[in-house]
Chains A and B, each alone.
Chain A
Amino acid sequence: MIEVQHVSKRYGRVTAVDDVSFRVERGEILGFLGPNGAGKTTTMRILTGYMPATEGKAVVAGFDVFANPLDAKRRTGYLPETPPLYPDMTVREYLDFVSRIKGVPPAERKSRVTSVMQQTHVADMADRHCSKLSKGYRQRVGLAQALIHNPEVLILDEPTAGLDPKQIIETRQLIRSLAGNHTIVLSTHILPEVAQTCQRVVIINKGRVVAVDTPENLTARLTGAETMFVQLDALGAEAGPVLAAIPGVTRVVAADSGGGFEVESEHGTDIRRQLAKTIVNRGWGLLELRPMRMSLEEIFLQVTTDETAAAEAARPDAAPEGDSTEEAPRE
C-alpha cells in the first residue's frame, strides 16, 4: 500500500533523511519511532506530497507521490504535527471546507462531517471556533480532518500528542479500529504506544532506518526472558560448545573474549539450574548469571545510540557479514 524506496532528503548540506526504505501492507498499522529530529516528520511530509524527496521514490496507494501527486493525495489523509486549523472557523465550517478541497462529493459532505465528528468525539464542539478549542480537541479535530474523505492511507504525525490519558486511550482505540479499512503510518516517541497500537515498527535515527520489525520480535530478538547472560572466569573462555550442548539451548554467542556468553534457549524453558550445574561440574568459576531483559525503551536507546549498528543496518549490503542481523530491514 505504501512503498518507500531509497528515499533521501537533503537541505543544502544537511541530510534529513538518508536512504530510507520500507513498505506498509494494506490494513496494517506501522509505527514510526525515533528521537526528535530523526527525520520522522520529513519522511511523512514526503509521503504526503508536501515536499519532494531529493532522491528515491515513494508510492502511496499505487501512485507515485511525485509523478501523480493528485491521485496519491486523494487517497491520503494527513495529520501534521500541529493540527492545521483555521482559528476563525467553527469546527463544522472547518471540516466542511476540508471536505471540499479533499474532493468529497457535495451530496455526501454533510453526512461525512457529522460522522467524522462523532468518530473523533468532537461533535459537542461543532459550533465552537477552532481558536477556542483545548489542545486535546484541536488534536482530534485534526484527526477528523484527516479522515474526512475516508482515505485509504492515513499518515498521522504524533496523533496522541497533547491528549490526556483518557483521550489517549480513546484515540488509540480509534486508530486501531481504523486499521483494516485504512493503512496507517503513525509517528510517536511514546514507546508503549507502539507496542499497543502498531503491528510493525520502523525505528529511525539521524535520518536512517535502524530497525524494522514487529514490536514483539524486536523485544524477543534482542532480549527477552529466554536469553541468559553468563559470565565465567578466564578458565571458561572456551566454554561455548559445552554450553550449547545443554538441552534446551538454541544458541550461544560469546559476548566478549573474556568468558561472557549470551545463552539463548527455547521459549518457556528454564535452563538456569542446568546451566549452573554444568558450569560448576566443569570447575569453571561462575561469576554472573542473569536473564537479559530489555524493554522497548532499552532497545530503542540501544538502537538509536549505537551509531555503528545504525550505519551497518542502514546499508546491509555495505556491512560485512556478521552481527548486523537484528537490524537489517526485511520484508
Chain B
Amino acid sequence: MNSVRNVLAIAGKELRGYFASPMGYILIGLFALLFGAFFRVYLTGFAEQSQRMAMGGGGTINVNEYLIRGVLHNVAIIILFVMPLVTMRTYAEEKRSGTMELLLTSPITDLEIIVGKFLGAMGLFTAMLLVTAIDIAILFRLGNPELKPVLAGYLGLLLLGGCFLSVGLFLSSLTKNQIVAGVMTFAVFLMLWIINWFADSVGPTGRVIVGFLSITEHLDDFTKGIIDTKHLVYYLSFITFGLFLTAKSVDSERWRG
C-alpha cells in the first residue's frame, strides 16, 4: 500500500516532468508525425493495390494484413529513434542536479524509485501511442478492419517500448551526462534491432539464438493478432532484467559514492 503510493508519487513526478518542459509535447508531436507519414505511405500503397485488384476482377486484400501490420512494424523503428530521448534524462539529470540525494535519503526503496520512473516513462509512451490511435480510428470509420489484431499489435508495441525503456533507464543510471546516456541508449537499441540481419550468416543454431535475441522479431506475432505466451514472457523478462540492472547500478553507485 505504502509502496504503491511511493511508486505513484515518483511516476507522477516523472510524468509531470515531461510536460513541464516542451520535451513531452515535442516527443508526442514527433512520434505522431512519423507515424502519420508511415501511415500515409502504406495507405496510398493499399489504395492502389486494391484498385488494381478490383480492376483485375475479383479478390480483395486484407486491410489488417497489408496496412495496419506494415505500419506497426515501422513504428518499432520510430520507437528506436524516439525512446533514447525519453529515457536519457531519467537518472542522469537527477544525478547531475543533486536531487538523487533527496530521493536516496527519503524513506522509499530503490526499487520503488526505479519502478516509478519506469511507469512515468511508460505513461508518456502510452500517450504517444494514444495519439496515433487517431489514424487507426479513421480506418475504422471508413472501412471495416478487424479490431483484435490492432489491439494485439498495440500491446506488442507497448511491451517493445517497455523493453527499450528499461534498457534506457539502466544506461541513464550509468552517467551524469544526458547526452552520453542518450547516445549509448541509441547505440544499444540499434544493435538490438539489427542483430537479426546477421541471422543468415551464423548457421542454423546461431540463427535461432539470434532470432530470439532480436527484440523486434518478437513483435511479428503480435501484429498478426496472435498473443503468444512465448513472446509475452520474452518481453516481460527483458523488462524485468533491464530494471534489475538499473537497481544494481544505483546500488553500486551508492557504495562507490
Contact residues in B for A103 (Cβ distance below 8 Å): 2, 107
Tally of A-B residue pairs with Cβ under 8 A? 79
Known: A11-B256, A89-B16. 18 other contacts (CB 8 A): A9-B257, A16-B257, A45-B257, A49-B105, A51-B254, A51-B257, A70-B108, A80-B101, A80-B105, A81-B98, A82-B97, A83-B98, A84-B98, A86-B99, A97-B12, A97-B13, A98-B102, A101-B6
Q: Decide if B106 touches A85 in the complex (CB within 8 Å).
A: no
Residues of B with C-beta under 8 A to A85: 97, 99
A46 to chain B, nearest CB (A): 10
Q: A145 CA to B106 CA in the complex, in Å?
A: 11
Asked whether A73 lies within 8 Å of B105 as measured between CB atoms, the reply is yes
Known A-B contacts A49-B104, A52-B254; the reply to A97 vs B109 at CB < 8 A is: no
Q: Does B29 contact A (CB under 8 A)?
A: no
Q: List 30 A-B contacts (CB under 8 A).
A: A9-B257, A16-B257, A45-B101, A45-B257, A48-B105, A49-B105, A50-B254, A51-B255, A52-B255, A70-B108, A70-B109, A73-B105, A73-B106, A74-B107, A80-B98, A82-B97, A83-B98, A84-B101, A86-B17, A86-B97, A87-B97, A88-B17, A93-B16, A97-B9, A97-B13, A98-B102, A101-B6, A101-B9, A101-B108, A103-B107
A-facing residues in B1-35 (Cβ within 8 Å): 2, 5-6, 9-10, 12-13, 16-17, 20-21
Task: For A84, give the chain B residue with the smallest CB separation.
Answer: B102
Cα distance A168–B109 in the bound complex, in angstroms: 35
Residues from chain B with Cβ under 8 Å of A11 in the complex:
256-257
Of A86, A98, A100, the contact of B5 (CB 8 Å cutoff): A100
Report the separation of the CA atoms of residues A50 and B254 in the bound assembly, to the nearest whole angstrom: 7
Interface pairs A-B: 3 shortest CB-CB: A84-B102, A88-B20, A100-B9
Query: CB within 8 Å of A: which residues of B?
Result: 2, 5-6, 9-10, 12-13, 16-17, 20-21, 97-109, 254-257
Q: Which of B2, B5, B20, B256 has the most CB of A within 10 A?
A: B20
B197 to chain A, nearest CB (A): 41
State in angstroms the CA–CA spacing of A40 and B180 once bound together.
Answer: 31
- The prevalent SS among residues of B at the interface is helix
- A: residues with CB less than 8 A from B are 9, 11, 16, 42, 45, 48-52, 70-71, 73-74, 76, 78, 80-89, 93, 97-98, 100-103, 145
B10–A101 CB distance below 8 A: yes
The docked-state distance in angstroms from the alpha carbon of A11 to that of B254 is 11
CA gap between A81 and B12 in the complex, in Å: 26
A145 to B101, CA, bound (A): 12
* Cα–Cα distance between A45 and B105 once the two chains are bound (Å): 9
Question: B16: which A residues are within 8 A, CB to CB?
Answer: 89, 93
Q: Separation in Å of the A74 CB from the closest CB of chain B?
A: 4
Q: Which residues of A contact B97 (CB under 8 A)?
A: 82, 84-87
Given A11-B257, A51-B257, A88-B17, verify A102-B107 contact (CB < 8 Å): yes
| Distance of A25 Cα from B116 Cα, bound (Å) | 37
- A300 CA to B22 CA, complexed, in Å: 51
Chain B residues with CB under 8 A of A80: 98, 101-102, 105
CB distance from B8 to the nearest CB of A (A): 8
What's the nearest-Cβ distance from chain B to residue A142, in Å?
Answer: 9
How many Å lie between the Cα of A326 and that of B12 in the bound state? 54
A80's nearest neighbour on chain B, judged by CB, is: B101
Rounded to whole angstroms, the CA-CA distance of A101 and B97 in the bound complex is 18
Contact of B21 among A9, A16, A78, A88 (CB under 8 A): A88
Q: Which residues of A contact B10 (CB under 8 A)?
A: 101
Given A70-B109, A84-B98, A88-B20; A50-B104 close (CB under 8 Å):
yes
Inter-chain CA distance A102–B102, complex, in Å, is 10
The residue of chain B having its C-beta at the shortest distance from the C-beta of A71 within the complex is B107
**B256 contact set on A, CB distance < 8 A:** 11
Shortest CB-to-CB span from A102 to chain B, Å, is: 6
What CA separation (Å) do A33 and B12 show in the bound complex? 39
**Cross-chain contact B255 with A145 (CB below 8 angstroms):** no
Q: Which residues of B contact A145 (CB under 8 A)?
A: 102
* Neighbouring A residues of B105 by C-beta, 8 Å: 48-50, 73, 76, 78, 80
